Amino acid sequence: MAKSGPFVADVQALRKRAREHMDAGAVTTNYEGDVATTVKILNEALATELVCILRYKYHAITAVGIDSEAVKQEFAEHASDEQEHADQIAERINQLGGNPNMNPEGLTSRASTQFVEGDSLRSMIEENLVAERIAIETYREMIRFFANHDPTTRKMLESILAKEEEHANDMQDLLVAHH
């Protein structure tokens, strides 16, 4: 194991650097990511979350069938979770000095998931499971990309990933129950 020296911060230099480039807000000189790339990636994730909110809300309203009430409730709960994810991502973009792209124009082309209405309760569940599986793979790739270059973004994405995995499991359970 390589031995490193003691952690000693040059407090005077740290204080001086903190006063420089204050217009950059939370982005300091030791940020190892590329802000423009991070904002672009996060805006794509934001678009994905917004599409997921809309799809889940649509399904929560339009699902029909003998077992639809419980499923509608699950869809509504997931829409709420996706809204929290969108808010977290938009806030992180703002912290990095970027602008969260919430413009509905081009939303589906920026998102990795699709808005599919579904023509039955089962097809709605299937479409949401597919979307969650896409989100899971996308978030895992982002987490690997950010690694230690942007631990704040990575940790946020890890918490979102855990929720998306829970959503996929919920959709799988519903699919089994509605075979």
Per-residue tens of pLDDT for the chain, all 179 residues: 555 666 657 777 777 777 787 777 777 677 788 899 999 999 999 999 999 999 999 999 999 988 889 999 999 999 999 999 999 999 999 999 999 999 999 999 999 999 999 999 999 999 999 999 999 999 999 999 999 999 999 999 999 999 999 999 999 999 998 87
Q: Can you give the pTM of this predicted structure?
A: 0.88
- Retrieve residue 149's tokens: 């270059």
Domains of the chain as residue ranges with CATH: 33-177 (1.20.1260.10)
CB-CB contact of 76 with 60 (8 Å): yes
